[in-house]
Structure 1
Amino acid sequence: MSTSATAPALRKTPLNAVHRQLGAKMVDFGGWDMPVEYSGLIAEHMAVRTGVGLFDVSHMGDIQLRGPESLNAIQHICMNDASKLQVGQAQYSAMLYPQGTFVDDVIVHKLSDNDYLIVINAGTREKDFSWVKTNAQKFHCHVSDYSDYYTQLAIQGPRAEETLQKLTNVDLSTIKSYWFKWGTVCGLPNTLIARTGYTGEDGFEIYVPSDEATSKRVWEEVLEAGKEFGIVPCGLGARNTLRLEAALSLYGHEISETINVYEAGLDRFCKPEKGPFIGSEALQQVIASGGPERKLVGLEMVDRGIARDGYGVFDENARPIGTVVSGSPAPFLKKNIALAFIPKDYSAVDRQLFVQVRNTMVKAKMVPIPFYRRPKKQS
């Protein structure tokens, strides 16, 4: 008798049926059935850059550390200095392996002096939770996985504040970037409202109860509130092109278990002066040996052609020197752009390089990153 292994069923967010009703194109993303686009990637991308867009990011994970030594545990597990956080503040950080490479990048929120929330990536949820639980064992704190308790919505774009303000009793203008408050949203008390995001734009992420009826109601109320600003639901396709224009890292691309902090260019978030943490010793050795041998750079395609993930990068003498880790058209910039790892000796801005697109060597040049910065608000 023959047996065939069946693939595990895709996980679904509480808004899965809503996405399907809206006609979203669905894909398997890290084991999740997620919308990649609704009205079209370019339209969704441009709505976020010029108005406002709404994302379902409920597949992200939420790990809570609570107890008298929760800060000590965070300091041991994460590379940024969480002792600098005030209650109501968040910071970008990462969890590292002992060799200084990435378990995952995270956002740490300080809920109270003994209570922290770590938001983690979807595709690494189980691995991350296991990593935190194992490495927090020697500290007096309790680790909980609250990932399935919340529907997480991201409202992103220059009109995000005006959109969300219609639905909450919190004065959103008082929440600074990478800070958060608790308040009522769509009639739901004790909702976490964080001014964070992954698009290069201003925006908010809200955490509401994960039951389908509540999630659907909040989703629809946000869309209604943003109607005058041209709000559209956005999928993973636009999320990726938006973060690429802003040169924000994606696990499995710019960061992974084989890429260290200095190679990824994220050392500004790494604080060895706070004391030892997992991976700090290996990172010190990288610096002692002269720094990373390769670095992440931005490429702009000069000739026609799109640099895709995994394409080879070559110097002016057609010698292979590196690899594209993220690449696509940039809808707002109207250019084809990419992020690539190349040897540090080659990393001079405007240097001419080539990307092999199928069987053709396509001319590219190195440019500063991020490719896009949002305009400063006029006071």
Structure 2
Amino acid sequence: MTIKNYIDAGLQHFGILSEGLADLIYFLALVAIIGIITWIIHLLTRRWLARVVLKLTRRTATNWDDLMFDQHFFNCLGMLISPIAIQVIFKECEWTEFAFLMKMLNVWIVISALLIVSSVLDGINRIYESYPVSKNRPIKVFIQVIKIFFYCAVIIIVISILIDKDPLALLAGLGAVSAVLMLVFKDSILGFVAGIQLMSNRMVNIGDWIVMPSSNADGDVIEINLTTVKVQNWDKTISTIPTYKLVSESFTNWRGMQESGGRRIKRSVNIDIYSVHYLTDEDVENLKQSSLLKAYIENKQQEIREYNANVENPLDKRRLTNLGTFREYMEAWLAANPNINLEMTHMVRQLQPTPTGIPLEIYCFSANKQWVSYERIQSDIFDHLFAILPLFKLKVFQYPTNMEWMEGR
């Protein structure tokens, strides 16, 4: 005896013979029973089964099962078990009278299965990201492409269930709307192709420091997915860049610096041209007291004496200059600095003179690449440079200030 028979018998007992009322009560009773069964199964799956499995996974030596089976997975599993159990329990009911409920249960099963597949794919991605190789070869883009494939398949299946059509017939009709689909999924398609190019050529990895002025991005890459690349800027803001822009537009990746032996220091100071002159004998003797300059000055004096021995005109004789000697001093000082990587290029050079003086550039690489330490090393170099310049009777070019104007009076 089915549920409807019980309902009909009850209504006849009370003298109610309405067929429409019996169908309504039958429908409401089924909905109530389905809701109760769903709640019980979901509660058992979410609380009892989830707790047991999660405790077992935490006791294992590996952590991949912890990453795979999270609470979201069991929520989705409960949503899948519930409609299947309902169909088994009510398989003897006259579903032809309530075909809509049957369709809804089938849709429910399909969507629940999709959520489980999505949860499993997320778990696979979490497991992969727990390994160091994920920073160089992320698979999130491929995971998202697989998800899109399943989403599209589920949409077709759900529509076929609701309209009672063969899914293959719906697929045949997709050719007519392919142009619309290409337009709708344009960013996803471009992002997928760009993501493959980025990963295959190792153009960008998670953790790379990139600079892209057109997108106001200057910081570390924290996420690469199908459509966007997220960059956490140094001011802690997040810049979101379309993935295909990293292929179609230029950007700077500082990974080469991070993987090299040092970080470049390239800064110049302008020397007042009028402060450049020959060194007097007294100046030479004073500078010779420096251990960094003693060998250079003695060798240079010997070289100059040998050259000047055959020169009579004073204009043709060679002499030491304060700027040249200062350059040699700074080269020796950098070579003695333990914070400078001497295996990489290091030099002190003159640039093209300008109306604001002679640019004297320090070009070297700090051994420490960490940002704060790098800035400290660079500042120490120029602190010393500015402080030592007066001993060589050199001046830094700068525009007059009020203090200089008052001193001139």
Q: Which has the higher strand share?
A: 1
Instruction: Give the TM-score category using the shorter length.
Output: under 0.3
Q: Which has the higher helix share?
A: 2
Bigger relative contact order, structure 1 or 2 (CA pairs below 8 A, ≥6 apart): 1
- Larger C-alpha radius of gyration, 1 or 2? 2
Q: TM-score, normalised by structure 2?
A: 0.22
Q: TM-score, normalised by structure 1?
A: 0.23
